[in-house]
Amino acid sequence: MKFKKVMALGLGAMMVLGASGCGAKDGGTIKIGLLTPKTGQVAQYGIAVENAVNIAVEEVNAAGGINGKKVQLISYDNKADATESINLFNRLVDSDKIVALVGPVISSTSLAVAPLANEKKIPMISPTATNLAVTPDYEYVFRACYTDPYQGGTVAKFAAETLGAKTAAILYNAGDDYSTGLAAAFKEVFEAAGGTITNYEGYTADNKDFKAVLTTIKEKQPDVLFNPDYYNTVGLIAGQVKEVGLDTVMLGGDGWDDVQKDYGDVVEGYFFANHYATDDEDPIVQNFIKAYQDKYDGNTPNALGALGYDAAKIMMSAIEKAGSTEGDKILAALKATDTNAVTGHITFDENGDPKKSLAIITIEGGALKLKTKIGQ
């Protein structure tokens, strides 16, 4: 008897589930996918983005969800690997039935997923993929951060105009789209401003020893050394800059974020471009920082976190304005985005790239300080 009841309950539950499965649009939740690297070289980025996206989703759900439906976030670890990202994206679309994607985090994985998102008409917003090629060819793909050429060029402008640098050496990761993109843009703008590039050297991710190449650079005595890479490699190179006795100012892009945590002593006084500054007094910024600190043991969110939060908020408000989970309706709402976000006032251009300003940060006494804000 009891057994039968359990069976009946089970069957009933299955029927309800089945019914809601058929009419997913009328279901109780809106599913949004998230792809971030949570293990590996850039794990710190992926975790920061995921934490911030969680806050954004909780805030929306606490305020009643989107048009009465709760948001359900489905998050996977793509290990910063392109193939892994494609497989996980297919899983998100085919078995989890997401309506929109936040992520992936780094450029190379976003480049891999972008064409698929476009083909399947899943609106996608990468919080942090800065490579130029991520958005232009794909109508459904947006980003919350500025592009590599914009960033590299602006750092070059800062070097030439604010620092008054005449010569620059560039050391970049030749196997990484992000790093090569920034390096090329820096070179172009710096030379256009009348500067000279003394060295333009690529390396691979396997390289751990930079003393040889830095010794060659040292001979040219460049005013600045531009190294657009992620924090672990930057720390490695900055330490060896000191070891070979190269006296210069290192510059970098947003990949440097968090470099002060482990390598504060070797990057003291250097500059990098970033998306927001924690000492910015705008209430949107301070409220986000407070929410993040309350939830994650007092840790201050980095720029990746801020962009993750903005990306998730932009996507959710687009779904709300669209009043639908249809890909093309969300797309139209995304295009019309005009909002104040943690990383500045955001509108999108025809490619899906945001128009906003960039913060130059310096490392002082092991902490990050806003030096200046440069726009175009």
Partner 1 sequence: MNVFVQQVINGIHVGSIYALIALGYTMVYGIVRLINFAHGDILMMGAYFGLFSITIFNLPFGAAIIVAMLVCAVFGMLIDIIAYKPLRNAPRISALITALGVSLFLENLFRVLFGAEPKKMPNVSSLQGHISIGVIKISYVTVLTVLLSIIFMVGLQFIVKKTKIGKAMRSVSEDKEAARLMGVNVNKTISITFALGSALGALGGVLYSVAYYQVEPYMGMMPGLKAFVAAVLGGIGIIPGAMLGGFVMGLVESLSIGYISQSWSNAIVFGILILVLLFKPAGILGKNVREKV
The footprint of partner 1 (CB under 8 A) covers 39-41, 43-44, 174, 201-204, 206-213, 215-216, 218-219, 232, 235-236, 239, 243-245, 262-263, 265
Q: With respect to partner 1, which residue has the nearer C-beta, 187 or 356?
A: 187
Q: With respect to partner 1, which residue has the nearer C-beta, 83 or 90?
A: 83
CA distance to 108, 109, 158, 164, 352, per residue, from 374 (Å): 26, 28, 8, 16, 21
Instruction: Let me know the angle formed at the C-alpha of 313 by 309 and 314, rounded to the nearest 5 degrees.
Output: 115
Residue 89 Cβ, how far from partner 1 at the closest point, in Å?
Answer: 22
One-letter amino acid for residue 370 of the chain: L
Q: With respect to partner 1, which residue has the nearer C-beta, 174 or 367?
A: 174
One-letter amino acid for residue 163 of the chain: L
Angle, helices 107-119 vs 82-94, to 10°: value is 30
Residue 214 Cβ, how far from partner 1 at the closest point, in Å?
Answer: 9
Bridge partners, residue 358, by sequence: 374
Q: With respect to partner 1, which residue has the nearer C-beta, 262 or 364?
A: 262
Q: Please give the Cα distance from 313 to 294 (Å, whole number).
A: 19
Residue 179 Cβ, how far from partner 1 at the closest point, in Å?
Answer: 12
Residue 41 Cβ, how far from partner 1 at the closest point, in Å?
Answer: 7
Q: Please give the Cα distance from 54 to 58 (Å, whole number).
A: 6
Q: With respect to partner 1, which residue has the nearer C-beta, 213 or 318?
A: 213
Residue 219 Cβ, how far from partner 1 at the closest point, in Å?
Answer: 5
CA distance to 70, 122, 216, 289, 317, per residue, from 330 (Å): 17, 9, 52, 28, 9
Residue 205 Cβ, how far from partner 1 at the closest point, in Å?
Answer: 10
With a CB cutoff of 8 Å and minimum separation 6, the contacts of 80 are 37, 40, 41, 42, 46, 105, 106, 108, 109
Q: With respect to partner 1, which residue has the nearer C-beta, 65 or 228?
A: 228
